[in-house]
Chain A
Amino acid sequence: ELKVEQNPLFLSMQEGKNYTIYCNYSTTSDRLYWYRQDPGKSLESLFVLLSNGAVKQEGRLMASLDTKARLSTLHITAAVHDLSATYFCAVDILVRYALNFGKGTSLLVTP
């Protein structure tokens, strides 16, 4: 059974600080995605990671993938309030052609 575990599940951080969200998964995968969800809204695609060692950056967010360790990270640099949202990682496994989601990390950035 595939497990996708994110930690932390809740994160409160001050503006200007750095932090990392972790996504561990339990079976082989070559594709991992990060999504953002604002309260009451749908999911918006942030990053697509398709190979070991892949690194993508957009603004204050940077995502990476280590397929050997079955680990992806989402690093936040100099957080701002606009980054407050819930962030999900999702893993694609070959045996089922659908994404499997973690429980999400609820991020609150405070002044």
Chain B
Amino acid sequence: DGGITQSPKYLFRKEGQNVTLSCEQNLNHDAMYWYRQDPGQGLRLIYYSQIVNDFQKGDIAEGYSVSREKKESFPLTVTSAQKNPTAFYLCASSSGRPMSTEAFFGQGTRLTVV
């Protein structure tokens, strides 16, 4: 079945650690995105990529990094510079402009700092 797979579903991070969230899609989509969701908040854009080997910062990129070495993969690293990383992280993909920007989402990773 086509879709977007995020792993792990739950992740615990100690203070000062870097952690990497995985996102893989088999929809043959060009564009991929990372959003952060805090309780009672909408989704805020962290990074996005329209094509392999290229990505742009979103609204809250500080303390995060990404790579896009393969079309199907867009991992997100939460670095120790991110002071408040506890949140629900959602990865999405779309065909991209000019075709479609309708985003399809993975099941999310819930990150908690311990």
Contact = CB atoms under 8 A, between A and B. Distances in A.
Interface of A: 4, 31, 33, 41-45, 48, 88, 90, 92, 96-104
A99 B107 contact: no
Interface size class of B (residues with CB under 8 A): 20 to 34
B58 interface: yes
Main secondary structure of the interface of A (DSSP, over half): strand
A33 B42 contact: no
Contacts of B33: 98-99
Main secondary structure of the interface of B (DSSP, over half): strand
Nearest to A1: B59
B61 interface: no
Contact of A97 (B92, B101, B107): B101
Contacts of B96: 97
Contacts of B41: 103-104
A45 B104 CA distance: 7
Contacts of B35: 101
Interface stretch (B18-26, B43-51, B63-71, B74-82): B43-51
Given A97-B97, A97-B101, A98-B58, A42 B31 contact: no
